[in-house]
Amino acid sequence: MDQKMKNSKNKNSRRKFIQQSSLAMASFTIVPRYVLGGTNVTPPSDKINIGFIGTGKQSGGLASNFLKIKEVQMVAASDVFESKVKAFQKKVNDHYAEEAGAVKYKGCDTYEDYKKLLKRKDIDAVIIATPDHWHAINIIDSIKAGKDVYCEKPLTHNIFEGRAVVNATKKYNKVLQTGSMQRSWPAFRDACEMVRSGHIGEIKRVLVNVGDPAVPYDLPTEPTPKDLNWDMWLGPAPELGYNYRLAPTLDGNFFPDWRDYEELGGGIISDWGAHMFDIAQWGLGMDDTGPIAIIPPKNPRAVRGLKFIYQNGIEMFHEDFGRGWGVRFEGSTGVIDVSRQYLESLPTGLIRSKMDDDKVTLYRNENHYQDWINCIKSRKDPICPAEIGHRSASICHLANIAYDLHRPLKWDPKKEAFDNDEEANKMRGRAYREEYQLPVV
């Protein structure tokens, strides 16, 4: 080959390379700062890639909290409501674009079926914010796909599901954080440390005020939004007619009412009980167990007055003590009230002297979301792992069963079974639609 032909061929090769490079560059909207490295930038090898399952109302606050964590990269989201998952995608992409100082960012993919998200090998962990009736199936599928899990509370829809989730977490050695974030708030930890350190003497009673038990579904059927896969939204639940209050469109700025209905949630006694009964269990040192008896109020229509009795004789009541949703610990020498609005005691000096003579120091953490990320790295249990999430949710499930049956029940917290009550024992689980069975662990 003479030199002239060789030069011509080199020019053509360079021209082709430049054209291909230009096309390739055009396909990238931005290059995030973390790819380039630099001061205060987490390199890709240290990032935990997160997928989000369920992008409704609850997902907004969760996403905002996780997007603040430098070790997290949110790469995918799944929802059966197309407009919601697209809005979520925009929130994530806009965040990363702003963070990188770019006009656009295209790094968060969307899926209707969460199982397609789980097939991605680059996703390390998932955040689950679906309705309660989906939690256990989402969790176990995610764990079996090799993902660590953050799941909103209550952890499960029933007692059988809770034990299955705990078993899956142990079998596959995965890190699960329950979204009972009050455990990471100093006021609740301080209250529980004071109770367990004897600041109010011997505990006699605990009062927990949260909402009503679940009721059967009774909403009228309305036209289903065109971009909602209603059958998949129902999943394992019975075939119910769509109603806007269950799954509102994007303009519905409220927490949906599926929580109220036994087919989908556990009532507000479960929704808020998973927060406040959780604190009661923590303060009593009962994280790995539960009550031995549940006694409903005499009035079959009552939605307050249920009593739990523990092995040590302590009684816990579902009762309104006049201070909103919260917990009251009553001891032989004082009282401690705690909620999201207050931490108070009688006598009043207990709070001021709290740090001076604590005998019990509990898990100290003030960022529930960072705690999960830290534990993914360390492979240690976070502040609210599967067993604790399950036991706290079980209190709510037991309450719903007792309110429903209107009779005293004896409970074995070790066997997780009712004594001599076949009907109550059947209520520890539920029937699933054929195509949405609980995965085998």
Indicate whether 150 and 289 sit together in one domain: no
Indicate whether 169 and 196 sit together in one domain: no
Indicate whether 167 and 136 sit together in one domain: yes
Specify the CATH number for the domain of residue 169. Answer: 3.40.50.720
DSSP tag of 261:
B
Helix and strand tally (H, E) in the chain?
15, 15
Task: List the chain pLDDT tens, one digit each, 441 residues.
Answer: 544 444 444 444 444 433 444 333 333 333 344 443 444 556 666 899 999 999 999 999 999 999 999 999 999 999 999 999 999 999 999 999 999 999 899 999 999 999 999 999 999 999 999 999 999 999 999 999 999 999 999 999 999 999 999 999 999 999 999 999 999 999 999 999 999 999 999 999 999 999 999 999 999 999 999 999 999 999 999 999 999 999 999 999 999 999 999 999 999 999 999 999 999 999 999 999 999 999 999 999 999 999 999 999 999 999 999 999 999 999 999 999 999 999 999 998 887 666 556 689 999 999 999 999 999 999 999 999 999 999 999 999 999 999 999 999 999 999 999 999 999 999 999 999 999 999 999
Q: Distance between CA 329 and CA 316 in Å, rounded?
A: 9
**Residue 299 to residues 291, 293, 304, 308, 368, Cα–Cα distance (Å):** 22, 18, 10, 17, 40
Q: Distance between CA 396 and CA 267 in Å, rounded?
A: 9
- 92 in a structural domain: yes
Q: Which one, of 121, 72, 117, 120, lies nearest residue 96 by Cα?
A: 72
In this prediction, residue 327 carries a pLDDT of: 98
Give the predicted TM-score (pTM) of the model: 0.90
Pull the structure tokens for residue 207: 């009062």
Indicate whether 102 and 196 sit together in one domain: no
Last residue of one domain, picked from the residues 163, 181, 199? 181
Indicate whether 194 and 343 sit together in one domain: yes
Number of domains forming the structure of the chain:
2
- 272 in a structural domain: yes
Specify the CATH number for the domain of residue 190. Answer: 3.30.360.10
Range of the domain at 172: 33-181
Indicate whether 299 and 205 sit together in one domain: yes
SS3 389: helix
Indicate whether 345 and 404 sit together in one domain: yes
Indicate whether 172 and 281 sit together in one domain: no
Last residue of one domain, picked from the residues 160, 181, 202? 181
Q: Distance between CA 7 and CA 137 in Å, rounded?
A: 64
- 262 in a structural domain: no
- 10 in a structural domain: no
Indicate whether 335 and 291 sit together in one domain: yes
Indicate whether 44 and 137 sit together in one domain: yes
Q: Distance between CA 149 and CA 168 in Å, rounded?
A: 11
Q: Distance between CA 29 and CA 44 in Å, rounded?
A: 18
Q: Is 390 exposed, middle or buried (0-12, 13-18, 19+ CB in 10 A)?
A: buried
- 258 in a structural domain: no
- 3 in a structural domain: no
Q: Distance between CA 246 and CA 267 in Å, rounded?
A: 13
**Locus of tokens 């507000």:** 268
Indicate whether 103 and 210 sit together in one domain: no
Last residue of one domain, picked from the residues 133, 156, 181? 181
- 75 in a structural domain: yes
- 233 in a structural domain: no
SS3 66: helix
Indicate whether 342 and 210 sit together in one domain: yes
**Residue 98 to residues 103, 194, 359, Cα–Cα distance (Å):** 8, 44, 47
